[in-house]
Amino acid sequence: MVFSSHEFIAELLDAAAKCGSECLQDVKSELFCVAIGGVYGGTPGQPAPRHLSDKSEAGRLAHLYGNRPAVKDFYDTLVKHAEGSIKRELQEWDEEGDDE
């Protein structure tokens, strides 16, 4: 939803920002949970395809909404989360390979 309905998400984040930092943080937290929830699967030794697509799409939207700080920050956070997940998956695979 945070990718397919990004116009709505942008309006929601802008409205939350107008209500104050606590409201904005609460809304961002809820949306973050929606964005990262679900099942992640993939090929052993490779990052989950969903992490790759989330990183790409969140990066695109962060750029698209570059002039709207609350929106850009939200999508930048999703990019960072995807990057961290990709790095962690690759490290875990490398560590498993070292055990053999």
**pTM (2 d.p.):** 0.87
Closest residue by Cα to residue 48 from 84, 73, 94, 4: 84
| pLDDT tens-digit map of 9-22 | 999 999 999 999 99
Q: What count of other Cβ atoms lies within 10 Å of the Cβ of residue 15?
A: 13
Alpha-carbon span 9 to 28, nearest angstrom = 10
| pLDDT tens-digit map of 34-69 | 999 887 777 777 888 999 999 999 999 999 999 999
Q: What is the residue extent of each domain of the chain?
A: 6-99
